[in-house]
Structure 1
């Protein structure tokens, strides 16, 4: 994976090796910050408006002053791709913290936020999207305001690690048996051709791709229900899938070792994958439905 050299900070672009965190950085000491991961296809952002909008909503929710106005943020993010000569598929990680100040739980006075963003190559996970993945279930022990895309991700990290240790791709989180989302993605239940997913309340992240899933369902006359389902309902699912900016639309074929549906990616998931590829402008030779892609 290529790690591009130029990083966007609140002041200018710097060489990656020159990045130094102040010792008392609130993002490091308190997780006092927010972030976004933005997908790039063929050198162009996908869902940039949705990501930038959510960034500013998260900042407002935790009372962080973003160093740029929105129009300037768009400009600087474009410059980040241009400066690094990005032409392929990649991701941009963008983080803003409350700043650097002597350690104290209370907000520091007259302290500027710290911002940086970097870009990395990120090929599409075509084989996983084509063949499907497995998942486990885990208790959702995160805080109640998951709609804020904050740096406080330790419960997510532990859940993802538990999935990895069991040879699975993702951990499906639940509170008292009611499925919320996954450690780093939203999750959907399909029954009799209808899609169900947890309502966009404060206890889940309002995923940018999740918004598009709803739009794709409306476009394809697939019933989309913001209604929670239970872990015990998974055994009756015809299909199960997840979505995120890096995983796109990913079929889930097994949960806790139990097969979902007939054990293959279902027609609703496939339809939504096609919608995603069409909107994102994925060329035919990179499509998961292309024989050429299958041999890449």
Structure 2
């Protein structure tokens, strides 16, 4: 059973804790972060919390904690969980109040859960994954990590039903990102990914990969590309907190990325990422 935190109390994750009038439940009126903890150390915690506060500010939500306060709670939850490697989910909503679209005069609600992280089998990572191209039907502020994920869920489900791990989203003829990941192509030794904008999330693992690419002297180009360019790439991969660096080798129609095998750039990035997170 996962350990959780809710508004000052540490509880088991299956204990009743969210009132019916909680605005996250009623409206999806809140923001969240998923932080991976390696050997008891949250990875890029400052960057995650900075993004959380930026998302909160964008929806005019006062979380009621500063960064140091959240760090203390995260540290205590990690310690109490008894886990060394875990996924930590942090959620902040506009609070508990009678259902009304207007902002209520009440304190924000903050909750967290700590669960063993979902390890991707080494053979699956070595083989690479399949993805499905899907229209990007989300709203126009995808840079906000909000609780409103229904379009992402529907696209991810459609991909799963086609035997794919991820849906790669396409808006106005350009690849934006995945339902829960950033998307990259490699051509002639250079990495390309969509530039930061309101249409994509500024991924924390994206930030780490950009740093690694700089260290390895691999060009990192923030430039949009089309689905056809993705299909013609030398390599493709996705990144996220939970998938880390994952090679893409196949599309839903059975067509392959190059020879259908993970390429050297994605492998080099992942090896360096493992070292960065203390997994080697």
SS at match of 1:51: helix
TM-score (norm 1): 0.91
Distance (whole Å) between structure 2 residues aligned to residue 235 and residue 141 of structure 1: 21
Counterpart position of 2:259:
262
Map 1:1-296 → 2, pairs under 5 A: 3-4=1-2, 6-87=3-84, 89-109=85-105, 111-125=106-120, 126-256=122-252, 257-283=254-280
Gaps of 5+ in 1: 284-296
Note the C-alpha offset of 1:17. Answer: 4.0
SS at match of 1:34: strand
TM-score (norm 2): 0.96
2:118–2:242 contact (8 Å) kept in structure 1: no
Distance (whole Å) between structure 1 residues aligned to residue 25 and residue 187 of structure 2: 43
1:163–1:169 contact (8 Å) kept in structure 2: yes
1:138–1:174 contact (8 Å) kept in structure 2: yes
Distance (whole Å) between structure 1 residues aligned to residue 145 and residue 213 of structure 2: 25
Distance (whole Å) between structure 2 residues aligned to residue 127 and residue 45 of structure 1: 26
Gaps of 5+ in 2: none
Superposed CA RMSD in Å reads: 1.1
Note the C-alpha offset of 1:128. Answer: 2.5
Q: What is the count of residue pairs matched by the alignment?
A: 278
Distance (whole Å) between structure 2 residues aligned to residue 30 and residue 13 of structure 1: 25
2:169–2:178 contact (8 Å) kept in structure 1: yes
Distance (whole Å) between structure 2 residues aligned to residue 17 and residue 248 of structure 1: 28
1:177–1:232 contact (8 Å) kept in structure 2: no
Distance (whole Å) between structure 2 residues aligned to residue 119 and residue 23 of structure 1: 23
SS at match of 2:4: strand
Distance (whole Å) between structure 2 residues aligned to residue 258 and residue 198 of structure 1: 23
Note the C-alpha offset of 1:123. Answer: 4.1
Note the C-alpha offset of 1:45. Answer: 1.2
